[in-house]
Copies of this chain bind each other. A is one copy, B any other.
Amino acid sequence: MALSTDPGITQDELRLAARNHGMPLEALRWPITPVGLHYLLIHYDVPLVDPAGFRLDVTGAVAKPLVLTLDDLRARPAVEVVSTFECAGNGRAMLEPRPISQPWLAEAIGTARWRGVPLAELLEEAGPSSDGVDVVFAGLDRGVEGELEQRYERSLPVSEAMGAGCLVAYEMNGGPLPPQHGFPLRLVVPGWYGMTNVKWLTEISVVEEPFTGYQVATGYRVKQTEEEEGRPVTRMRPRSLMAPPGIPDFNTRDRIARAGVHLLEGRAWSGRAPIVRVEVSVDDGRSWEDATLLRDFPDPYAWCAWRHGWTATPGDHVLCTRATDETGDTQPLEPEWNIGGYENNAVQRVRVHVD
């Protein structure tokens, strides 16, 4: 991973930012993120898939390999899950030095209602070998990364894949998956960072040796140097974000608000345990008050809403919000640096000019 101490974003980063995009933070006002506002990170190209010819293979170390059409999948009992996704690299562009990759600020998030077939049922039907270690999920998208030509592949330990909640999804928010979210099929693993939710899913394979593909063994690892083995990126750390109050300046995105009472609102999530506390600071983190939590969804890895009143006085203010989950994990005030720029869940700061 190249690093930069220059505040200027490079042309490589710009090319990524022009095609991938975050969720504009005012969209925190929607409990389910509308299609087109949900964040997107596409490693290679969006493939154009003919659904009639599409097949999902469940293969590898299994007793009975499956080859499934979309009609086969749709004929099975369906389940729905509301799941918040966050890119593992969210916040990368706020690190110093800055890892050169997709330059996310704070917006690489979104929450959708996914519908499909439980992954555990497909795996049970295929019958994984008792020596199975990992389940590998492969997409139709191909590209070059780390000088290796590859299709996008991620794995989960068999126990995680067989756990409740994982879905092979063919619908998003009540409609067919849009092309950019994996049409016709994607994996959904609630609670894990976004890279786990393999799009354009075409093969599920049980393997008896730990999977060592690029996106698990090289990419998506938290480490301080290239040489270190590091630890894998797995479940989302707690995070809270605020819909910025007032109105924006076009060029700077700074906020301008009227003096008086404002209802601050936002959402918070963790992939590890329920959110138990959201705090708000209106003085750049010097003092904190508890916000009111509102749980919109029963799904454990869907974000929850929060609200907090703010009496705005004329002048410049920095508003912050901080989430804590049931494990006691809370957001740091300053980012925790690593060479890939992953898991930066530092507290959001929103500058507001009140007049």
Interface of A toward B, CB cutoff 8 Å: 6-22, 24-27, 29-30, 34-38, 40, 42-46, 48, 93, 100-101, 103-105, 107, 142-145, 149, 175, 178-181, 244, 247-253, 256
Contacts and interface: CB of A to CB of B under 8 A. Distances in A.
A151 to B, nearest CB: 10
Nearest to A145: B250
Contact of A249 (B7, B104, B143, B250): B143
A144 B17 contact: no
A18 B27 contact: no
A204 B15 CA distance: 38
Total copies of the chain: 2
B19 A9 contact: no
Contacts of A17: 14, 17-18
A15 B103 CA distance: 10
B37 A101 contact: no
Contact of A34 (B24, B144, B179, B252): B179
Contacts of A45: 24, 26, 244, 247-248
B18 A104 contact: yes
A207 B92 CA distance: 48
Given A46-B26, A248-B143, A35 B36 contact: yes
Contacts of A22: 18-19
B101 A14 contact: no
Given A46-B37, A179-B34, A19 B14 contact: no
Contact of A24 (B6, B19, B104, B244): B19
A21 B24 contact: no
A48 B18 CA distance: 25
Which of A22, A36, A100, A250 has its CB near the most chain B CB atoms (within 10 A)?
A250
A144 B250 CA distance: 6
A48 B29 contact: yes
Given A6-B8, A9-B13, A35 B142 contact: no
Given A26-B45, A37-B180, A145-B249, 4 more contacts: A9-B10, A19-B22, A24-B45, A36-B181
Nearest to A1: B251
Nearest to A141: B247
